[in-house]
Amino acid sequence: MDKVNEEFEEPVSPHGQYFNSSVICSYSFVFMEFAIPIHDLQIIPLLKDNFLPAINPRFSSIMVRDRYDKLRWQKVEVNVEEHVKIPKFPEITNSSSNELYDKYVSDYVTSILMERTPQDKPLWEVHVIKYPTSNAEGTLIFKIHHAHGDGYSLMSALFSLFQRADDPSIPLSFPSRKTQLDSKYAKKSLFKKLCLNTSYFFSSLSDFGSTIIKTRMIEDDKTPIRLGYEGTEFQPFTLSNISLSLDQIKEIKSKLGVTVNDVVSGMIFYGIRLYMQEMNEKTKTSNSTAVVMLNTRNVDYQPLKEMQKPESKGLWGNQISFLQIPIPKLINQSDPLQFVWETRKVIQRKKHSFSVHLIGLLMDLEMKLRGPEAVAKIIYNTMGHSSVIISNLVGPIESMSLENHPVNGFYFAGTGGSENVNITIVSYVKILKITLRTLKGFIDEKKFKFCIEKAVEVIFKAAMEISEITIKN
């Protein structure tokens, strides 16, 4: 058992309290798939010697209340063995072993998605899957409580364990967050910037007002992707993955003159509408909203050592907000590119909106006046009133390895919300992986995945056939 140190450390941040409340218990799951067996991977010494000493102290702490009834992180002596789980599945020797292990691993993942880690131990686990599946010879699953930090923080911590597969002496590199749109804005005249900023001001107020109404009063329609009942977060969910070629996505991006995010979001929204139409024709024009989670830092990934410096304190933790984006309706099925154009239009308008900061200020005010449980309930309702939650991260440009064990793919997923569909997106080398976390027994995960894949195929074909004249118009 982890031994408690009487010394109190830093206070638990407001977001840490929201994500570990009676209303929400949120975890991030990161799945690392290896190209070779991991039977000889010394995960416990690796965690003891490399992970815990270098990472944020919260990973060696638990939440406790001090004499003033305030939650603080308290250091404990970590028994790493208790945090490492190695499941045992029946041995299979026939030719269909990978497919059977796929089923065992899927069932195992479903079970750990639902489980809460003990509150008297640091809120993380590592699950070591030593069995081969269709996609990997072995898999590591990092289960980390969202109270520790957001995706930026957690991935920065995990990447500190890994090395470049081709040359471990060179650090991993990542795509830049800077976009051509930012440079285009910088080149505009002062008058045009003033006009744009005025437009952004009023649209920001509109976005903020609609977010408040959506969070507290209006719910999305009940559809084949939204059951509309509370408590579904305690029911089983399944994960399924779609792997896309980044080169193909960039080809569409270049042809249409949009961003990668525009293309991927349009594909997902189109796939969602195809699924809704397949399951219930009437819902192809229902009122449905996607909540897109945002990292509010305006920086690229930083080395873990840099994030730990006092002057870089703001880089660690939960710095997230969200945008609510209406899912375009499936009115003209012969024009799938409408989903890319409409999504781009909304994202273009909202990306410069300061409503995300107003939302953060409002949450801070609610925290002071009503406490973390009330804010957690607002977050819970925001997710539950919407149809899908979407979040994305960027991964390394180069292949990575762990102790000479090459990683051929990775993905992540989040839990704890009241939504029935959660979609996460991550890039790795030249692959974009979309992970679908869907409510078991309500969402037909195979059909849902098929509809997203069909949307990718149809939009690619439509983009390649479009003429330059059409794009200019």
What pLDDT, on a 0 to 100 scale, did the predictor assign at position 33? Answer: 97
What percent of the chain stands above pLDDT 70? 80
Lowest mean pLDDT among 110-114, 200-204, 340-344, 453-457: 200-204
Tokens of 195: 């006009």
Tokens 């991927």 belong to 264
Residue-wise pLDDT for 376-386, tens only, equals 888 888 888 89
Neighbours of 313 (CB within 10 A): 11
> What is the residue whose two structure tokens read 């609610």?
366
Counting other chains too, the contacts that 280-287 makes at CB distance below 8 Å and 24 or more residues apart are 280/223, 280/224, 283/221, 283/223, 283/224, 284/329, 284/330, 285/329, 285/330, 285/331, 286/220, 286/221, 286/223, 286/329, 287/220, 287/221, 287/326
At position 333, the amino acid (one-letter code) is Q
Give the residue from 141, 109, 121 showing the smallest Cα distance to 43.
141
Question: What's the CA gap between 71 and 370, in Å, rounded?
Answer: 16
Which contacts of 164-173 are long-range, i.e. CB under 8 A and separated by 24 or more positions?
Answer: 164/396, 164/398, 164/399, 164/400, 164/401, 165/398, 165/399, 165/400, 165/401, 165/406, 165/407, 166/398, 166/399, 168/401, 171/303, 172/396, 172/397, 172/398, 172/400, 173/396, 173/397, 173/398
Tokens 């999504």 appear where? 343
CB atoms within 10 A of CB 126: 21
**pLDDT over 90, % of the chain:** 48
Average pLDDT of the segment spanning 217-233: 88
Write down all domains in the chain, each with its CATH number in brackets: 3-164 (3.30.559.10), 184-398+418-472 (3.30.559.30)
CA distance 148 to 122: 10
pTM: 0.88
**How confident is the model over 77-112, as pLDDT tens digits?**
999 999 999 999 988 777 667 788 999 999 999 999
- Token pair 């939302």 is at which residue? 359
Whole-Å CA distances, 413 to 134, 141, 173, 383 = 19, 11, 22, 15
Place of tokens 């409503």: 355
Spatial separation of the C-alpha atoms in residues 198 and 45, rounded to whole Å? 56
**pLDDT at site 149:** 80
Q: What pLDDT does 278 receive? A: 94
Give the per-residue pLDDT at 185. 47
Banded pLDDT at 153 (limits 50, 70, 90):
confident
Exposed (0-12), middle (13-18) or buried (19+): which is 205, by Cβ within 10 Å? middle
Q: What is the predicted pLDDT for the residue at 240?
A: 95
pLDDT of amino acid 353 = 67
Over residues 299-312, the pLDDT tens digits come to 656 555 655 555 55
Q: Which range, of 73-77, 80-84, 119-123, 180-184, averages the lowest pLDDT?
A: 180-184
Q: How far apart are CA 257 and CA 459, in angstroms?
A: 14
pLDDT greater than 80 at residue 394:
yes
At residue 193, the pLDDT reads 46
pLDDT of residue 309: 56
Cβ contacts of residue 251 below 8 Å, gap of 6+? Answer: 460, 463, 464
**pLDDT reported for residue 315:** 59
Q: Identify the weakest region by mean pLDDT among 37-46, 209-218, 250-259.
A: 209-218
- Average pLDDT (342-370) is 78
Q: Are residues 394 and 426 in contact, defined by beta-carbon separation less than 8 angstroms? A: yes
Which band of pLDDT confidence, cut at 50, 70 and 90, is reported for residue 140? very high
